[in-house]
Copies of this chain bind each other. A is one copy, B any other.
Amino acid sequence: MTARRGGKGVTLKDVAAHVGVNASTVSRALDARKAHLVQVDTRLLVQGAAKQLGYRPDRVAGALRRGATGTAGVVVADLANPFTAPVIHGISQALRPMQMVPMVLETNDDRSQLEASIDHLLSRRVDVVIVAAARFDDRAVLEDAARHTPMILAARGIPGCALPQVLHDDQLGGALAAQHLLGLGHTRLVELRGPADIGNFVGRHTGFQRTCKAAGAEVIVLENALRPRLEDGERLANVLLDEHAGRMPTALFAHNDLLALGALGVFRRRKLQCPRDVSIIGYNDSLGIDQVDPPLTSVVYPGVEVGRRAGELAMRIAHGQRPADSGVLITSELRIRRSTARPRRA
């Protein structure tokens, strides 16, 4: 079927020679945008020969010539975090119709890996970079890189950053969580906070804190999680039980479902029932979280939507349209399940 020459690929020249025309003609005949410049019968001839010889355009050479590679960089913190995959999935959805391909790199929330990733991507001349791994102190690095290649922030924002940002409204999410718990009658609450240099967690905290304050409720302050994972949820829950035993809160807002699950496990082991003794509310509405015991109330994180919108914005930018809306906030909603209830009579 597909032919091959001496170990190397078939080039435009080969096709041209085979048909007996010039390489430029082949180039034009095979480019949808220019095919009309070529006489119908030669075009057909060329297309036939191309298929017969198994010609596949070399987009590396094309990219060098044109200055556009048809690739987008995607920088994420951690692929293993269940929060990440939907975002990439959304980005991927937006790229496909534009025939763009993502290069996906992980930072592990490490600054030098972020820099290395950006370096790789810019060296490979991606047309645009989507950063879903930003921490506050990465701002200078990112803004600097953006002077060479357009960049946008997705999923994780940096306040005041000059780059376009496509974010979820974490502040609203935090407020929704607070409203729900306050509405149930809780007056002493606690937060399991994610790292303080990641916008999402700051937003969730701000929204939650502000809403609780306004209602005159008490919020116990715990240290932030180092990484918002199961183990840190366990650690913080133990701290809470050990150091605040006298004044246990009746409700807990975890900045993500993993932290919530960690806490839930510790509570169970230490004989506290949810929601009887503590109501728990998570964040992300992760897959399967409704099958947990008890099914977890959680703020929906619309990861696919965030990714898709970021991807769409990136595509517009890559194609030279610098759009007016240099910021998108995607709204939240709360999925109420059985892990939250009225507090027991005090």
Residues of A within 8 A of B (CB): 1-2, 4, 9, 56-61, 63-64, 69-71, 78-80, 82, 84-86, 88-89, 92, 96, 99, 101-106, 119-125, 144, 147-148, 257-258, 261, 264-265, 286-289, 291-294, 304
Interface of A is mostly: mixed
Instruction: Say yes or no: A92 contacts B104, CB within 8 Å.
Output: yes
Instruction: Say yes or no: A79 contacts B69, CB within 8 Å.
Output: no
Closest to A290 in B: B265
Closest to A73 in B: B101
Closest to A84 in B: B85
A293 partner residues in chain B, CB cutoff 8 A: 291-294
The docked-state distance in angstroms from the alpha carbon of A261 to that of B286 is 14
The docked-state distance in angstroms from the alpha carbon of A9 to that of B124 is 12
A96 partner residues in chain B, CB cutoff 8 A: 106
A291 partner residues in chain B, CB cutoff 8 A: 261, 264-265, 292-293
17 contacts between A and B (CB under 8 A): A58-B125, A59-B123, A60-B64, A60-B125, A78-B89, A79-B85, A79-B92, A89-B106, A92-B104, A92-B106, A99-B120, A101-B120, A101-B124, A102-B104, A261-B291, A264-B291, A293-B293
Instruction: Say yes or no: A125 contacts B59, CB within 8 Å.
Output: yes
The docked-state distance in angstroms from the alpha carbon of A93 to that of B2 is 34
Which residue in B106, B148, B286 is a CB contact (below 8 Å) of A4? B148
The docked-state distance in angstroms from the alpha carbon of A288 to that of B229 is 11
Instruction: Say yes or no: B60 contacts A147, CB within 8 Å.
Output: no
Instruction: Say yes or no: B63 contacts A60, CB within 8 Å.
Output: yes
Instruction: Say yes or no: A124 contacts B292, CB within 8 Å.
Output: no
The docked-state distance in angstroms from the alpha carbon of A57 to that of B122 is 9
Instruction: Say yes or no: B105 contacts A103, CB within 8 Å.
Output: no
A58-B123, A79-B88 known; 20 new pairs, CB 8 Å cut-off, are A1-B144, A4-B147, A56-B122, A56-B148, A57-B123, A58-B125, A60-B60, A60-B124, A71-B103, A71-B124, A79-B86, A80-B86, A80-B304, A82-B287, A92-B104, A102-B104, A258-B287, A261-B288, A288-B288, A293-B293
